[in-house]
Amino acid sequence: MSVLLANNTASFNDLKEILEVTDGNLASHLKYLEKEDYIIVNKSFIDRKPNTIYTITEAGRTAFEKHLDALEAILKQR
């Protein structure tokens, strides 16, 4: 989510490279985020190759910012 928060959109391959995860691991996380309406998935083809772009939604942005706020609050308690 941090990649999408910073860039608004990212391709599957970009996310895989940045996060250094396997296809299966990334796909399962992205499916969950899509199910929760935190991201929008846009599938297309470029030169006959599939290209999937993920875009963060307002709900996703709000949820992730709340998550960051909660982590920050925990750190401040120390």
pLDDT digits (tens, 9 = 90+) for 11-60: 999 999 999 999 999 999 999 999 999 999 999 998 999 999 999 999 99
**Domain ranges across the chain:** 2-76
- Residue 77: the pLDDT is 92
Residue 78 in this model has a pLDDT that exceeds 80:
no
- Comparing CA positions, the residue from 18, 16, 17, 11 lying closest to residue 46 is 11
Q: So what's the pLDDT on residue 75? A: 94
CATH class, range 2-76: mainly alpha
* Predicted TM-score of the model (pTM): 0.87
Closest CA to 19 of 70, 54, 63: 54
pLDDT recorded at residue 9: 96
